[in-house]
Structure 1
Amino acid sequence: MTPSEFVIATLLVQGLAALVLAGLLWMFLRSLEHHFLRQLALAFTALSLHLGLSAVNLVLTTNEADLFGAHEALLFAETISLLAFLTWLVIGMQSALKQQPLAPRTERLLVSATVLFGTALGGGRLLVADDPLLANLFRVSVPYGIAAIVFLWLGWQMNQVRHRFPALISPVLGTAASVVAGLLMLYSSVLNITSDASVRPLFHIPFLSLISLMSLTFIGLSIVIWLLENEQERARTAKVKALSAEQRLLYFRTHDAATGLPNQRQVENLLSQEILRTRASKDRRVAVLALGIHRFKAVSEAVGWHHTEDMMRDLTRRIREKLPERFILGRTGERDFIILMPNIRRREDAVGHAEKILARLRLPFHHGAQEFFLSVSGGMSIGPDHSDDAAVLLTQAHRAQLQSPPEARELMLHRTSSMDSGPGDLVHRETELRQACREGQFVLHFQPLISIRKRSIAGFEALLRWHHPTQGILGPDHFLQDAASLGVLDELEDQIFAQAMDQLAEWHGDLALAPVSVSINVSAERFQQPTLTDKLVEMCRTRGISPGYVDVELTEAAAITDFEAGLDTVQRLREQGIKVSLDDFGTGYSSLAHLQRLRVDYVKLDRSFVQGIEHDEQQLALTRAIVELIHSLNMKVLAEGVETRGQLGHLIQCRVDFVQGYLLGRPQPAEAYHDLLEHRYISTF
């Protein structure tokens, strides 16, 4: 075999190796979905093309043949493909090492610049075609000089990785192979300055061709090994984060993020335990004191929303200071606290403790030099006198607190003649609810869901309100539980679906508005009904709405009431194009294993993740880990309860996809958002 034939064979083998590596990278791209794999796959596809063209050109040069003037065209394509390989290699490796994709516009500009530069080299070679030395300079020395710089840069970058991760094999292989390839290209570039243009100096020594083949092989091998090592490390890190996140989720499911107090769920569990203890002693009672803060918005605006949680922590400390050790303090809402008083002998003892607590809260609070007062009212229920069910006792205490005049800051004791105790009152409540359904007193308000990436409105969540004829606008906390227990919920939810679909059809029918989606909350009872999917699809069809713009929101509790049936419902909804969101993630009963099996489209982080994110590094780290885990399951993340720019900034850093909260828009009637929908972009960003 002559030297030229050996070099041609070596080129073909290198081209085939580059093509195989490109195929592997394209295959990895389909399964791993790393942003840099596409650039690396394009790079080695271009290299395979370059090596194949080099072999053909060498055949033409050796045989002194030029079929129909193809030689110059092949030389031009050879140069362009080499420069394209180097450009995509730099883009891909830079993106991989920094774990951040290059902007598509920047990538297009770099590729365009590469084509223009290659065209300039080809044109320059044609202009100096009569001078073999200059022609060879444009053809080989300049491109190979650039290649030498790129490979030496790659070797330096891989060496940095080797120092950071000494246990990995791929950086060692990559560093050595890249440096050898860079020195080889540099030698070839310098040698061409004084070489005969008729023979390419890199290939006139077969030994150098063999070194080139080996360096390319080791570079490809190091990339494949690096991908495997990277996935292994990601899997190990994800497992560690999952375990840590699961442990912290167990805590945050039962505790308020800002104050560390037991939350609604935990308070109910603790109250159930105390009720069981009272059954063993006839003279023992457990009292439930609900505390509600009035003028909360005015005070929060006075101290600044970002200091509101600090104020809540101060309030917590003040309550705890004189609280008996056996008493349990919990936070059940943004402005609501619960105190459990076990081992109470007489009702008067519980009332005395409650009045002392309210008296302490009447003292002024201080924020810097500013003095302000909180208006706090209290409501109390006593078990088992009023009920032996924890949920009922909590509801009774809360309703008594709502009945307490805020100006008087009084304690209101639950009365057994209240609305929820007698059958006559239940009948009256049912009559009210059914009349409200008939007369259209239930309406929807809409709160915008903002896309972080587009910085615009992506859709709205439909929120139910009751325009009560005497009590004004009521939120679902005031009537939804009664509607469920009295059998009115199905009729009410049908109205919610119809109103939400009608509004969506109106938005989509307005050609001046870009399409938006609407999220509808579904109860656990309705979610378990097998007709849910067919009903929603039919409502979309009759209104001419694409199901892809409808999002069904279900809570964790609804999802696991009958988990296997829930899986089927989620699958049927998604098969019809309807999106599914898991609401209030982190506060219910589901685990990450449940989340993985549910395969919903969106996960809504509970506001407890957002409240402490500005001041608590651990909370921020947990939120970032949860978002990363949800993304690894190919689901999007929506964070609700965003009220400050600081919270928004941290959520952007955590790579949350969508946000919702008072900072970006309060629940309002649909017409209030018409002008904003025409522009869609949110000035808050």
Structure 2
Amino acid sequence: MVILKTDNQQDTSIQAADEIIRANEATITKLSGDVDFLEKKNTDLEARYTALFKLNRLSQECNDLDTFYSEVHSTIASLMTAENFFIVLYDQTFDTIEFVYYIDEKDEKPEGIIDYQDLDGSFTNLVIESKQPLLLTPELEKQLFDNYKIKQFGTRGTDWLGVPLLQNGLVIGTITIQSYDEKIRYTDSDLHLLTFAAQHVVGAMLRLQDQQRLKNAVNARTKELMTQIREREKSELLQESLYRISELSTDIDLDIDTFYSKVHNIIGQLINARNFFIAKYDQENNMLHFSYCVDEHSADLVKDFKPRKLTNRYSELVLRRRETVLLSYQEMMSLYLAGETTKPQEDIHSWLGVPLIYSGKLLGVMVLQSYHYKTTYNQQDAELLNFVSNHVSAAIKRRELADFERRSHDLLEQQVKLRTLALEDEINHRKQAETLLKHTAAHDSLTGLANRNVFIDLLSHAIECSKRKSNFSFAVLFLDLDRFKIVNDSLGHHAGDILLKIIARELEKIVRAKDTVARLGGDEFVILIEDLDSNQEAFEVAKRITEFLKEPFTIDNQLVYTGTSIGISFSNERYNDANTMLRDADTAMYHAKDNGRGRYEVFDDSMHQKVQNALSLEADIREAIAWQEFIPYFQPIIQLSTLALKGFEALARWQSTKRGFVFPNDFIPLAEDTNLIEAIDMQIIEKSCQQLKYWQNELGCQDIYISCNLFSKQFFSTSLPQRIERVLINTGLAPYNLRVELTERALLENADIVHTNMQALKAMGVKILLDDFGTGYSSLGYLHRFPIDVLKIDRSFISNVHEHDNHRAIIRTIVDLAHNLNMSTVGEGIENLADAQLLQQMDCKYGQGYYFSKPMSPQHAADYIINKLK
């Protein structure tokens, strides 16, 4: 059936079809726009990921930070217009900033490290303070400027775009681009893109900084090893040279001129010997004969080095003094002006001469001289030449004897008596050499005293005599010098050696002729006092020694104070061997040290029991470390101006399953002597960090820190930063919530390692406190050198400070010093309100002590925090 539509129906159908076509066309147009948008978005994403990949790759590809910063600029410039670009690093601890990379078409790069406050009100400070990205348009800049939020630094531009570099929520720097062109404007999309890039710059930058630190450490170690290798090679060369000199002296076929030439050649391998001569001393005729000479400034060696009567020239000075003489031209002029020598040649720069002595007889002089400033002889050269001269003297003497024997063959009958005398002389020399060898084997090389082996033999003999003779009595005195290490550290080992020699000579004068003084090593001496009529004789000797060593010594024009602690053990039938008796005297000496030094103690059985108790305590400490028995107690650190709680010092306590509660004074000294304190320190740090993290989660005290003590030797280990970092990672505590305390003693040894460890901890975010300041060396040198944040004023100055004017002066000096060095101060041992108020008036910022609270268990410390937070 066919249905015919009317005209109206046909018009309606056509209209509907047109509307459908228009709708489809609109849909197609929208889909086309979406495709373009998606393609653009995909292109942006590809650019971002390409930049991310390149940024992550930079720390592996770049060899140094400067190249890295330049590549960062290049990468960001590939994403947006960045003709003006700079990177700033911010040090929160010292409150400083540094422009490590700077490209700007208008302004010059700010040089060096800049105090953060000097750029107060700058765009960069605004980003650092807010920790947020900032897109600064001219409109926003005017608004901030009108509201005094910013100041004008540098040339005014169009748009300024800066983002922070964040590490663990802390700002460590910024990245900035800016435009001076109205045609180059930045958008929020640019801001997001730069923020996105900055997140990955931080990781790559830190990895590269770590690589640089590792490289520096490796270079330092390599340098140290190379020094050791050079010293070993030098020692081997010296041994080889001495052997060659010895060989030359036995080669009787070698004529004397060739012999001297070869000696010159051997010495020239050790020291610069371009100008060299050997002169023989004729004592009978008071003449000097030049046996061998080489001189680059002499036109006629025969004339310039002809034999001469002894005068007052420099070779004769060596002969008169019978010792090595090292002179610069200025020193030679001083001797001339003093009338001791003739005027030196104007072209001489450095002069070194040593006497040639064999068996106490002066044979002549050996001299090196330099005419050029590049060759200057030093004390090490002098010591080396003096050492070699002994062997040269022996070689010359042996050569003389060999020549004499060879000539004697021609005149055998006439020279029999002379040959016999020569042989007798040789025998005497050998006997003297044997005597010298025996003496060397039995005596200390530095002081000339008997050594340990000889002393043990003598003591063993005395013990045997006492067993045979009931009335034979004797004593052993064991001496240890007080503060000897301070002399070595402050004046050097040379001064320490001089002090030991002086004391050795005086000890031999103090004791009786039949007594024996020996040096065991270091600063330890022992005395055997035999055939005593009464114990009082030994006490008198000990008193004279202690009184003598209380007096100061003058070394290198400086007064040196020392002292001694003496242990005495008397002969007893229970002693069967020398080592036991010597051990007991040593034990008594340590009791003398513990009881105040500068005194003597007599050994008794209670001391032996004390030693046994110490051994038992040491075993229990080792067990307690394994069983995790050491726990932290917490003493609050208070801000004096507001009485607000700022942190806790963690103090080690021992809850022993065997001994019960053990007080610190009963176990810490022994733990330090046995190096067990290092394991205890790490237990206390880990448990303290765990406890503070728990309080943060439960009580919300996010700003409180924990301060833990570290034994000085901890800082001598290169693994310390890694161990601290591992504790922070395991406990989840942020580095800025941890402080470490060390004493001044740690700064006096292994300074390079200590400085490296402190820098690593600082880079990690851990602050460093110097404990007990004012009681040690208190040297300004290490305060400048080492990155210290806080000085803790020792309690000995704080206790009742309001009653002691001199203590107030010391504290004020320490506080002013700390302020000038941008350090904070903590007063320890505050026990009353008056002390607390006085410290606050002197601008000491923080305090701790019994006035605020004694050290508390973790439970009581939690209650303390809750009360402070109310």
TM-score, structure 1 normalization: 0.43
Higher RCO (C-alpha under 8 Å, 6+ residues apart): 1
Bigger-Rg structure (1/2): 2
> Where is the helix percentage greater, Structure 1 or Structure 2?
1
TM-score, structure 2 normalization: 0.34
> Where is the strand percentage greater, Structure 1 or Structure 2?
2
